[in-house]
Structure 1
Amino acid sequence: MAKASKKTVGGRAAPKLAKVGPGELLTLLDFVRYGVSRFVEAKLAFAHGTTDPVAEAAFLVSEALHLNPEQFEIFANARVTAAEGKTILDLIHQRVTTRKPAAYLVNKIYMRGLPFYVDERVIVPRSFIGELLESHFGGEGNAGALIDDPTGVERVLDLCTGSGCLAILAAHHFPNAAVDAVDISKGAFEVATRNIGEYGLEDRISLYRGDLFAPLGDARYDLIITNPPYVDAEGMAALPPECRAEPKLAFDGGADGLDVVRRILAEAPDHLTPDGGLICEIGRGRELVDEAFPELPLLWLDTEDSEGEVFWIAAADLG
């Protein structure tokens, strides 16, 4: 009889975690410490709403106990029940043995403090554009904001919407705007539909399934936001297991990572109002973008956690 093959993750045998005995872990902090130790031991990657093992463990513990992660400190020293402890340990073990992003394990991610449903049909949202929407693309307190009157924005487009989180944030921060959101993926369309419904924004956000601008006709917008696929071939080959669990379509930007960006820049002028603008996230490809489009006066925007990973360009400068 043939032996069952061992479960593998990223081509390696999945690690086995030692069993935790009754009473060995008592408080929320105990379980976070245990999670951090296991995550570091397993050399996990963190790039899906949390950037380190402590935040990741605290997120999973909070979700297992139905607590908002922002409330963690209030309950850090509280003891958990045996049933709750089992739920927490199950999540920690799943995170280590499957290498799936934590957000997929609990079907939730927070972006700018708001919860969104996610599953393996969509990339886990972690766009820097969310922060920029709050400031209307300016500094703290809207100082130097590129959009000085958010109430005057009438139409917004979110290309490559994925879970719909940026479209929803745009609807919140531009209160008078009608928002269109587009994604080519059927799964993303379904997840975005769910999130839009959760926030009761069906009357303000129109969702389209299609290839970039194709389903929009001759519609024009005051603002286009997009976090398109921008990972190049070399980067795709080096993605950690956590990212390989996400839809390839959401990452793959072609040989140099700019296939979709080129199309967006070429087609955007036909869909922007005269005073409109485009904001696009490109990851760490600023140098490549500047070399590819030397004629464009791109304005690179920084955020709390990024430098030069998002650019703005006015409609007038796109030609």
Structure 2
Amino acid sequence: MAKQPDGLVSIKDFVRWGASRFNAEGLFFGHGADNAIDEAAQLVLSALHLQPDLPATFQDCRLTEAERGTVVELIERRLTERLPAAYLTGCAWFAGLEFAVDSHVLVPRSPIAEVIETGFHPWIAPEVIGRVLDLCTGSGCIGIAAAVWLPDAEVDLVDVSPEALSVARQNVERHGVGDRVRVLESDLFDGLHGNHYDVIVSNPPYVSRSELESLPLEYHREPRLGLLGGDDGLDLVVRILGEADRFLTDEGVLIVEVGSSAETLERRLPEVPFTWLELERGGDGVFILTREQLVESQPLVEEVLGL
């Protein structure tokens, strides 16, 4: 067990100490928190089995010796193993909901959360959404959040990774949506023939090979399968564009996050009328296309695919 520092007794003492250690070591923050204080608070509160919204009046509460040991061990693991905090705590928050995570899934952080919380308005009327597909679901956070925010919708969670789908099933059970949410193993649309959706939403692998190699160590603790999108990051994105129209209802929409590969996508498909979402809470590289736009764009996408 790591040696406990002298003079630290309260919750805020350990948050300050952890943040100072993180800054001194130059850790990267980008998997839920964007600064050392929030990251340290996440780990300290998790070690104490307390929620993130702990009232400020409790920050001066003193830790027992056993609690101090647990907190210090968690802080030291974050420093030495460079694991994202969510893998150390086993949970992450997305769209106001808590999800179980492990190293088989990406840490939930997609800006699509903001779109889900509006019920996909104004891009499609929430009341007409009957079926939603979460493609490349990972932990299931996008699709499950959609099921929670749209209580009348049925949702399919699809991924190629059995290990990721195991985590998704845990989260379906956690949120009590098993009567409306299916968990399906499929390579994109391969196993979905005959299904049609009002909304297809996806956060697929979209990181290019060169970008992935340059990312901070914390990203390399996440599953490569969930990040790497081929040489230019767009292998799966272009496949989705080439097939999604056949799985959408007439008024359906496709929403996809491509992050830093947005400029590359526009260069490859300059005539496709992507609408890039402007999100109040930040986050770039999320586009939306209607089924009609996808149908009209098929010759362009097929040319890129070499069909």
User: TM (normalized to structure 2)?
Assistant: 0.92
Q: Do 1:218 and 1:270's aligned partners in 2 also have CA atoms closer than 8 Å?
A: no
Q: Do 1:160 and 1:212's aligned partners in 2 also have CA atoms closer than 8 Å?
A: yes
Give me the whole-angstrom Cα distance separating, in 1, the residues matched to 2:41 and 2:280.
21
Give me the whole-angstrom Cα distance separating, in 2, the residues matched to 1:184 and 1:274.
27
Classify 1:39/1:232 alpha carbon distance in 2 versus 1 (closer, same or farther; 3 Å). Answer: same
Give me the whole-angstrom Cα distance separating, in 1, the residues matched to 2:60 and 2:123.
44
Question: Secondary structure of the residue that 2:53 maps to in structure 1?
Answer: helix
- After the TM superposition, which of the residue ranges 157-166 and 75-84 deviates more from structure 2? 75-84
The Cα offsets for residues 41-85 of structure 1, whole Å up to 9 and x where unpaired, read as: 111111111111111001011111111112253422222111111
Q: Do 2:2 and 2:72's aligned partners in 1 also have CA atoms closer than 8 Å?
A: no
**Aligned with residue 276 of structure 1, among 249, 252, 255:** 252
Correspondence for 2:261: 285
Give me the whole-angstrom Cα distance separating, in 2, the residues matched to 1:251 and 1:18.
33
Question: Secondary structure of the residue that 1:313 maps to in structure 2?
Answer: strand
Question: Secondary structure of the residue that 1:71 maps to in structure 2?
Answer: coil
Q: Do 2:95 and 2:116's aligned partners in 1 also have CA atoms closer than 8 Å?
A: no
Q: Give the drift of 1:136.
A: 3.0
Correspondence for 2:162: 186
Give me the whole-angstrom Cα distance separating, in 2, the residues matched to 1:166 and 1:73.
31
- Aligned letter for 1:310? V
Q: Does 1:63 pair with 2:46? A: yes
Correspondence for 1:226: 202
Q: Give the drift of 1:211.
A: 0.2
Gaps spanning 5+ residues in structure 1: where? Answer: 1-16, 139-144
- Aligned letter for 1:250? G
**Aligned with residue 151 of structure 1, among 114, 117, 127:** 127
The within-5 A match list for 1:242-257 is: 242-257=218-233
Question: Secondary structure of the residue that 1:216 maps to in structure 2?
Answer: coil
Correspondence for 2:288: 312
Classify 1:82/1:72 alpha carbon distance in 2 versus 1 (closer, same or farther; 3 Å). Answer: farther
Q: Give the drift of 1:112.
A: 2.3
Give me the whole-angstrom Cα distance separating, in 2, the residues matched to 1:146 and 1:277.
8
Correspondence for 1:12: none
The Cα offsets for residues 67-124 of structure 1, whole Å up to 9 and x where unpaired, read as: 1112253422222111111111110001001101111111111112211111111111
**Aligned with residue 125 of structure 1, among 108, 112, 121:** 108
Q: Do 1:136 and 1:146's aligned partners in 2 also have CA atoms closer than 8 Å?
A: no
Give me the whole-angstrom Cα distance separating, in 2, the residues matched to 1:58 and 1:101.
14
Q: Does 1:19 pair with 2:3? A: yes
Question: Secondary structure of the residue that 2:286 maps to in structure 1?
Answer: strand
- After the TM superposition, which of the residue ranges 260-269 and 42-51 deviates more from structure 2? 42-51
Correspondence for 1:200: 176
Q: Do 2:131 and 2:197's aligned partners in 1 also have CA atoms closer than 8 Å?
A: yes
**Aligned with residue 96 of structure 1, among 76, 79, 88:** 79
Q: Give the drift of 1:215.
A: 1.1
Q: Do 2:203 and 2:257's aligned partners in 1 also have CA atoms closer than 8 Å?
A: yes
The within-5 A match list for 1:253-264 is: 253-264=229-240
Give me the whole-angstrom Cα distance separating, in 2, the residues matched to 1:21 and 1:181.
45
User: TM (normalized to structure 1)?
Assistant: 0.89
Give me the whole-angstrom Cα distance separating, in 1, the residues matched to 2:215 and 2:284.
21
The within-5 A match list for 1:38-49 is: 38-49=21-32
Number of residues of Structure 1 aligned to a counterpart in Structure 2 = 295
Q: Do 1:184 and 1:211's aligned partners in 2 also have CA atoms closer than 8 Å?
A: yes
Q: Does 1:235 pair with 2:211? A: yes
Correspondence for 1:134: 117
- Aligned letter for 1:111? F
Give me the whole-angstrom Cα distance separating, in 2, the residues matched to 1:179 and 1:74.
41
Q: Does 1:54 pair with 2:30? A: no
Q: Do 1:181 and 1:206's aligned partners in 2 also have CA atoms closer than 8 Å?
A: yes
CA-based RMSD:
1.5
**Aligned with residue 149 of structure 2, among 173, 186, 195:** 173
- Aligned letter for 1:260? L
Give me the whole-angstrom Cα distance separating, in 2, the residues matched to 1:159 and 1:74.
43
Gaps spanning 5+ residues in structure 2: where? Answer: 296-307
